[in-house]
């Protein structure tokens, strides 16, 4: 069977949990299982249950975070509020900002990590800036304290796009256990999956309450009703809402996955990453991204840097050798919607030319990593 770049690791336990929702509970929407999943997440992260707002995608979590930042700043879309976003990220980070009527301002990244370059972000501050987004690129919480300090000194909210970082720790603290507005994705290939899903972790009650209502079409207090199996037949709606809630079916998958994280997925991902490190140390022309030894990384993807002039040829050779590769990411300022499409952020563009993502998921073996690195070595030598 052909090797996969990334993959959902699901099986009988997830199937049984879904089957229980369908055959025994019979209620497929947002209900008791969703509530239990939120409680499990809160317990895992070490936060209160009110802080965790589950949704049906990571993108939805980001949209709710943007909305909370807008409400807190007293801004409407017609004010054209701006949010600083590192350009090297999944297009979801940008789309979530523009979907809410805010302007995503592309910022450069640090060449050695691919994470937000705060000096560049500082140059892009205006009186319309309401928030700064940090993306834990390749699961790297790199110096995120500095982002919080920066935000504090400029009166901004912080949106942590932690889609890659579920299970990671920054200086001993789990991502999602501290901060402001932290967004996780549980899509098919993330560190845990619901099929599709995500959550926002908020650290102030106002934002959590806004997000909880907003995910259910803005119906006030509907979350508590749904969790007790009731509905709101006499609703009031005070803000724009969305159909972002997570169903019992997806939550059932998420609960099983969360239970497998510490014992199975984290050690597997970290062991594969270590194997990559040992092989890549022997290849001076292939560079890994830098991480802080004080951070605990649970790698979601495995991007490496190769000489730009040879990148495409190396990708072709790997493909011919049966090794799938990816590209994380085309910088968003090069997309027509989010800028002129013109080059302007040198580090993001340099990484775009150098990056190749190698296969990484818990379904791979040490032998598979050896195979990938053998093919990579061959491609480099040719």
Is residue 57 near ligand PLP by the rule CB under 6 A? yes
Is residue 247 near ligand PLP by the rule CB under 6 A? no
Closest CA to 135 of 92, 171, 190, 85: 85
Is residue 113 near ligand PLP by the rule CB under 6 A? no
- Residue 131 gets which letter from DSSP? E
Say which residues have a Cβ less than 8 Å from residue 152's Cβ, sequence separation at least 6.
none
Q: At what angle do helices 58-73 and 91-99 cross, to 10 degrees?
A: 40
Instruction: Give min distance, CB of 361 to ligand PLP, in A.
Output: 14
Is residue 18 near ligand PLP by the rule CB under 6 A? no
Q: For residues 366 and 357, give the distance between their C-alpha atoms in angstroms, rounded to a whole number.
A: 17
Region near ligand PLP per CB under 6 A, out of 63-71, 86-94, 116-124, 285-293: 86-94
Q: At what angle do helices 248-260 and 32-45 cross, to 10 degrees?
A: 30
CB-wise, 31 or 197, nearer to ligand PLP? Answer: 197
Instruction: Give min distance, CB of 187 to ligand PLP, in A.
Output: 4
Binding residues among 171-200 for ligand PLP as defined by CB under 6 A: 185, 187, 198
CB-wise, 107 or 163, nearer to ligand PLP? Answer: 163
For residue 169, the surrounding DSSP H or E stretch is: strand 169-170
CB-wise, 92 or 314, nearer to ligand PLP? Answer: 92
Region near ligand PLP per CB under 6 A, out of 22-30, 161-169, 232-240, 313-321: 161-169
Percent helix / strand / coil, the chain, rounded to 5:
45, 15, 40
Q: How many helices (H) and strands (E) does the chain have?
A: 13, 12
Region near ligand PLP per CB under 6 A, out of 53-61, 146-154, 236-244, 332-340: 53-61
Binding residues among 323-382 for ligand PLP as defined by CB under 6 A: none
> What are the φ/ψ torsions at residue 334 (nearest 5 degrees)?
-95, 0
Region near ligand PLP per CB under 6 A, out of 56-64, 117-125, 169-177, 202-210: 56-64
Instruction: Work out which of 17, 65, 92, 298 binds ligand PLP, going by CB under 6 A.
Output: 92
How many angstroms separate the Cα of 195 from the Cα of each of 133, 190, 223? Answer: 25, 10, 22
Region near ligand PLP per CB under 6 A, out of 14-22, 157-165, 249-257, 258-266: 157-165
SS (H, E, C) 192-220: CCCECCEEEEECCHHHHHHHHHHCECCEC
Neighbours of 38 (CB within 10 A): 23
Closest CA to 212 of 235, 178, 180, 246: 246
Instruction: Work out which of 30, 41, 102, 135 binds ligand PLP, going by CB under 6 A.
Output: 135
Instruction: Work out which of 47, 163, 212, 297 binds ligand PLP, going by CB under 6 A.
Output: 163
Is residue 90 near ligand PLP by the rule CB under 6 A? yes
Which residues in this chain contact ligand PLP in the complex, by CB under 6 A?
57-59, 89-90, 92-93, 135, 161, 163-164, 185, 187, 198
């Amino acid at each position: 069977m052909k090797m996969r770049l990334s993959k959902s690791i699901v099986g009988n336990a997830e199937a049984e949990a879904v089957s229980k929702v369908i055959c025994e509970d019979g209620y497929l929407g947002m209900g008791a299982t969703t509530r239990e999943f939120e409680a499990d997440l809160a317990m895992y992260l070490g936060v209160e249950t009110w802080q965790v707002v589950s949704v049906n995608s990571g993108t939805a979590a980001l949209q709710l975070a943007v909305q909370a930042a807008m409400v807190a700043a007293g801004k409407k879309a017609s004010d054209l509020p701006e949010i600083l976003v590192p350009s090297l990220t999944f297009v979801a980070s940008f789309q979530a900002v523009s979907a809410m009527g805010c302007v995503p301002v592309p910022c450069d990244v640090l060449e050695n990590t691919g994470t937000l370059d705060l000096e560049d972000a500082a140059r892009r501050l205006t009186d319309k800036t309401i928030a700064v987004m940090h993306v834990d690129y390749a699961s790297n919480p790199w110096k995120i304290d500095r982002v919080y300090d920066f935000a504090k000194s400029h009166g901004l909210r912080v949106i942590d796009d932690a889609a890659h970082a579920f299970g990671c720790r920054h200086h001993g603290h789990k991502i999602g256990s501290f901060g402001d507005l932290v967004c996780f994705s549980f899509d098919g290939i993330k560190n845990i999956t619901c099929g599709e899903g995500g959550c926002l972790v908020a650290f102030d009650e106002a934002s959590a309450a806004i997000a909880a209502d907003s995910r259910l079409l803005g119906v006030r207090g509907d979350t508590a009703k749904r969790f007790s199996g009731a509905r709101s037949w006499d609703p009031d709606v005070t803000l724009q809402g969305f159909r972002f809630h997570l169903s019992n079916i997806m939550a059932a998958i998420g609960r099983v996955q969360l239970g497998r994280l510490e014992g199975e997925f984290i050690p597997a991902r970290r062991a594969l990453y270590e194997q990559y490190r040992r092989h890549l140390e022997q290849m001076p022309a292939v560079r890994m991204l830098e991480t802080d030894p004080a951070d605990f990384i649970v790698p979601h993807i495995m991007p490496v840097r190769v000489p730009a002039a040879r990148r495409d040829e190396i990708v072709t050779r790997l493909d011919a050798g049966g090794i799938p590769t990816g590209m994380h990411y085309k910088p968003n300022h090069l997309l027509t919607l989010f800028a002129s499409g013109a080059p302007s952020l040198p580090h993001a563009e340099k990484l775009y030319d150098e990056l190749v993502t190698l296969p990484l998921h818990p379904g791979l073996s040490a032998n598979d990593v050896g195979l990938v690195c053998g093919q990579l070595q061959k491609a480099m030598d040719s």
